[in-house]
Amino acid sequence: MGYDRCIQILSVLLLCGASWAQGPVAAPAPSFTPADAIRIACGSASDVKIGTRVFLADVQGTGQGVAGRTNQNNGALSAYAPLLTSARFFTSAFNYNFTVSPGRHWVRLFFYPFAFSSFQPSNSFFDISTKEVGLLSNFSAVTFVTADSPYFVREYFLNITSKDLVLTFIPRSNSYAFINAIEIVSAPDGMVQGGAPTLGGGSLTYPGLSQSALQTMYRLNVGGGTVAPDDDSANLSRTWIPDTPYKLLNTPGVSVEANATKITYTDVAEYIAPATVYASGQALEDNDVANANAALNWNFTVDNNFTYLVRLHFCELQYQRLYERVFIIEINRVAIYQFFDIIEEAGAAYTPLYRDFMVPMINTYPKINVRIAPDRSNPNAKNVLLNGLEIFKVNNANSSLAGPNRIIEPNTTSGGTQTTNSSSSSNLGAIIGASIGGVAAVLAAAALVIFCCYKKKTKSDKPGAPSHWLPLPLHGSSTDHSKVSTSSAKSGKSGAGSYVSSVPSNLGRYFSFAELQEATNNFDESLVLGVGGFGKVYKGETDDGSKVAVKRGNPRSEQGLNEFQTEIELLSKLRHRHLVSLIGYCEEHGEMILVYDYMANGPLRGHLYGTDEAPLSWKQRLEICIGAARGLHYLHTGAAQGIIHRDVKTTNILLDENFVAKVADFGLSKIGPANEVTHVSTAVKGSFGYLDPEYFRRQQLTEKSDVYSFGVVLMEVLCARPAINPALPREEVNLADWAIKYHKAGMLDKIVDEKLRDTINPDSLKTFGDTVEKCLQERGIDRPSMGDVLWNLEYALQLHEASVKGAMSSLDQGNFSTDSDNSHMISVPLVAPNLFDDSLTMDIERRMLEETASEDQSASAIFSQLINAQGR
C-alpha cells in the first residue's frame, strides 16, 4: 500500500472518528459537507443565484469602496452574467473579513474587468493578500482576458489557522482595485498530504506542504468534458475542464470512457475528484503502439521560480488483469515511473488512484511537460492512460503566490488582444483552467486554443522538415531537402571533403533502405524490441546472417532528431567492448536508421525483477556491473573529452548472449567538461530515482553524476527492486536512501534479493556496499571515480570467487581478510592497492588486462589511465 494511501486512510479514519477496532479495511469516505460556504456578489445589492450556489448581496462592502454595474454582456459571460456585471471598486486599502472555521479552504476570486465611471480597467493595478500570504501583486486583471474569455477566476487553497480570513485589497498609487465575486468553501483535510516525492531526488518529501498556500493553475478532466461546479464531488464547487487545449498534437489520443456508476472509491476519498473525472481518460489511439513516437504529451505554462504540485489521477477502465497496460510517466523528461500499472497501484480496475509530485521550476523554461509512454522494454505493455490532472502553485519563500501580469503586445492582425509568443496560449489556458465559466464559454475558448495550437503546429511542422539527421560535418547547412544519397551529397559546410570521406570512419557500413526492409521483414511489428521517444527498435538479420538491432527514428520528431544526432556523434567516436556498438546506418528516403549489434539478453532490468527469467547469480551480477562500470569508465576517460552518459539506469545496460554488459542509449549524453572547467551547465534530464541530487540542485553536470546513478544501479542489482517504488512504505520508497541506511547499520544482508540470500560472501557484500555508499555521497567530490568503482567491484568479485573456491587459504595470508582491514581498505582513498594482497592485486590487474586486450587500443589506453589513477 502506498504511503500516501496509508496517510489518507488514517486521516479518513480520524475524520469520521472511526477506530482501528473496526478493522483494517477502509470504508469509502463519507460525503463531505463543507463547514463554511461563503459567497459574496461584490457590489450587488441583491443575492445572485448561479445554479445551486447563492452569492449574497454585498452588505459588508457597503459604505466602503464604490459599487458599480455594467450592461456589457456579449454572451461570453454566459450563466455568470448576473454575478459578474457588478463589482466593488476601491481607491484605498480595504479588507474583506470573514469568520471561518480553521482548516483548508478553497478561496475563489472572480474578475471581470469592465469600465465604470472613471475606472478604466487598463488603469487598475493592485495587491491582494491574506494575513499569511500574498495572492496577487501589481495585478492587472485586464491583461488576463480576451474577447472570447472576458472574465476569469483565481482559485487558491489556503490553510487558515485562525478563526478569521481577511482579504486585503491594496491599490497601487493612482490606481484602483476591484472584485466581482468571492467564494470561500471549506475543504477536507485530506485533500493535500504533508509532502510528495520531489522531482530531482534528494529529499523525498517536500517540507511544509500542509502549511503552504496553493494556487490552482490547471484542473483537467482528461479525456472527458467539463464538470461544472454543481457536479463536483463533496460540494467543493470545483470546475474540471477538458485537457484538449493542453495536449500536444504529435500523437493522436483517444478518449476512453466508462459508466461513472462503475467507479468504486476504496483508498481514495470521493472528494479528491468526482467519478465523472475518473470515468474518462486519454489513451493512445493505436493499442499496439504502431506509431513509433507513441506517447501522450501535455504542456502547461507556469510562472517561473515557484514549485508546483502536480497531481495525476488514474483509473483503469479497460483492462482487468495486471501488466496489460504498463507505462512510463515523465514530468519534464524525468521518468517518475518506469513501470506504472494502474491496477497494480490501485488494486483493481474502476478504482480511483492519484499520485502527487513536487516539481520545482526555478529559473527554468516555465513549461511543465507531462508525458506518458508505453514501456519500451516491455512488449506486453500496449497502451497508456491518464484520467485527470491538477497543477497547483506553491507559495515561495516570501510567502507569495503572485506571478507576473501577462504581457500584451499591440494586436497586429484581426480583433482580440495578441500576446507574446510563448506565454499566449498557455496563459489563456491558465485562465480557462481556473474559470468557473459556463460550459459554452469554456468550450468556445478551448476551441480557440485548439485552433491556435493547431495553427502554430502546422506552421512549425511543415512536411518535408529535416530529412538530414547525420551530424553536421556531413551536410549540416545544406538546404536541399531532397533525398541525399552517398554518391551525390555534398558537404554543405565547405567544398572540401566529399560526403563519403567526411563520414566518421566508425559509422560503419552503409545500409540501403531496401536491405533494412529485408532484414526486418519490412519492419514487422512482431520484431519490435522496444519503443522510445526516438522511434522503434526492431530485431533484424543482415544478409550475412548476423543478428542486428535496427533503430528507426521518426524524422518528424525533433527530440528524436537531437537524440539521434547526439548518439551517432558519440558512437562514431567510440568503440568499446562494453558499449553497444554501431554496425551501420541508413539515411535514404529521409529515414534515420541506426544499426547496432543485437543484444540477445536485453536490458539488465529484465533479469532482476518483474520477470520469469532465471535469477542471475552473484558472480554474474558482479561481472555485469564490472562490465557496465568499464563501459562508463571508458566514456569518462577514454575520449579526448570525457563523455557523461546522463541516463545510467538498469534499462540502459544491455546484455548480449553471453551476459556481457554493454552500456546503451547515448541520446542524452553530453560531452564532458574540458580540463579547465569542472562541470557542464545544462537543463536537468535523466530518470527519477537515479538523478544525482547535486546535479539537480545546481544543474551542473559532472562525471560524478553518472557515478551516483551507477550507485543506484548497483543497489538495484543487489536488492532486485526499482529505484523508486512509491507503493512501498514511505522510508522504503527511494532505494538509495533506504539501502544506505541498512548498509550503515550493518544489515545490508537483510535486504539483498531473496534469490541471492546466503550465496554472497559477506566480505564481498561489504565491499560492494561500501562502494555503493561512496557512489551515493551527496557531494560529487566525495564520490569515487568510475575507475575506482571498477577496481572495487573487481575486488568484491575476487573476494566472492575466493570464498566460493574455498581458496581462502591464500587470502588469509593477506592483511585484508579481517573486518578491520576491509574497512581500512575502503576508507579514503577508496582504492589503495598497496593494502591488498599482492597476488590478489595482480590477479585483478591480470583480469583487467585480459579484458582490455579484447577491446581496442583506445581501451587499453584507458587501462593505463586507470593504473595512473591509482597514484592519485
Catalytically active residues, by annotation: 647
Query: What's the min distance (Å) between Cβ of 340 and ligand NAG?
Result: 20
Q: What is the identity of the amino acid at 290? A: A
Query: Would you mind telling me the total number of residues written for the chain in this entry?
Result: 872
CB of 662 to ligand NAG, least distance (A): 30
The type of residue at 205 is T
Are 97 and 166 contacting, i.e. CB atoms less than 8 angstroms apart?
yes
> Which residue lies nearer to ligand NAG by CB, 367 or 697?
367
Q: Which of 294, 141, 312, 161 lies closest to 222, judged by CA? A: 312
Helices (H), 461-537: 472-475, 499-502, 513-519
Nearer to ligand NAG, 127 or 341 (CB): 127
First vs last C-alpha separation in the chain? 48
Please give the residue ranges that form the binding site for ligand NAG (CB under 6 A): 31-33, 95, 97, 103-104, 125, 138, 140, 159, 161, 166, 189, 210-211, 233-235, 248, 259, 261, 299, 304-305, 332, 363, 365, 367, 369, 396-398, 405, 410-411, 414-415
Q: Is the dihedral of CA 774, 778, 779, 780 positive or negative?
A: positive
Produce one character per residue of 663-682: b if its CB has 16 or more CB atoms within 10 Å, e if not: bbbbbbbbbbbeeeeebbee
Tell me whether residue 131 is annotated as binding: no
What value does the CA radius of gyration of the chain take, rounded to a whole number of Å? 30
Which of 371, 334, 389, 335 has its CA nearest to residue 250? 371
Looking at the Cβ atoms of 172 and 755, the one nearer to ligand NAG is 172
Cell of 217: 493553475
385, 491, 540, 715, 743 from 764: Cα distances, Å: 44, 55, 40, 14, 13
Shortest separation between residue 57's beta carbon and ligand NAG, angstroms: 17
Q: DSSP for 1-37?
A: --HHHHHHHHHHHHHTT--GGG-SSPPPPPPP--S-E
Q: Which of 434, 328, 449, 345 lies closest to 391, judged by CA?
A: 434
CB of 256 to ligand NAG, least distance (A): 15
Contacts of 65 (CB under 8 A, 6+ apart): 43, 88, 89, 90, 91, 94
- Specify the residue, 405 or 617, whose C-beta has the smaller distance to ligand NAG: 405
Q: Work out the number of other CB atoms within 10 angstroms of the CB of residue 321.
A: 10
Work out how close the CB of 289 gets to ligand NAG at its nearest, in angstroms, rounded to a whole number: 21
What is the Cα–Cα distance from 316 to 24, expressed in whole angstroms?
A: 24
Comparing CB distances to ligand NAG, the nearer of 396 and 581 is 396
Q: Which is nearer to ligand NAG, 202 or 366 (CB)?
A: 366
Nearer to ligand NAG by Cβ, of 33 and 505: the residue is 33
CB of 104 to ligand NAG, least distance (A): 4
Using CA atoms, how far residue 602 sits from 406, 651, 656, 663, 686, in Å, is: 50, 9, 7, 11, 20
Q: Is the peptide bond before 829 cis (omega within 30 degrees of 0)?
A: yes
Smallest separation (angstroms) from ligand NAG to the CB of 148: 14
List the binding residues: 551
List the binding residues for ATP: 551
